Structure 1
């Protein structure tokens, strides 16, 4: 569950940074009121993408602590599911889906 939270933080912090940066940039640029919302949205999207890109580059090649630029200084680690988790997921499937999953698993073993 912690990894899910970490991934969400690392996704939405760059969005928030992009929103703030795009909004601030749009304040200083005189825009036609008819297209201002579209241009502001594009600025926000571009700023978010650039923020995430640069933060990942800095985190990877400069120093891992720079991961704070995107919310957390560590990447989420997704481990392999345990046997119990796999069996619980399998038990939730209806019989047709279970049969298809079993057939696919057997085909992979051949």
Structure 2
């Protein structure tokens, strides 16, 4: 909603990365091209998905960008190298924060 300070209604999906366990994060990178309103129920946070491996971040989110009455699902694959350096943690900011940390196998 940061790009809609007057109405506080439009949303955007951002990603950032941390290499120090979440103490600091890189600059945000916006994933969607067009800001969108939330679904009619006003809920969005539970419709975000994230998976990370050693090379990429995979992000899924719902949006009302399309002309479909109930919105659509969007997916983006982002190379870790395309996310600016300050990763062990990825941050998705879309009004609600979801912080996930990939555990190292012992």
The alignment's TM-score, normalised by the length of structure 2, stands at 0.23
Identify the structure with the greater strand proportion. Answer: 2
Quick check: which has more Rg, 1 or 2? 1
Identify the structure with the greater helix proportion. Answer: 1
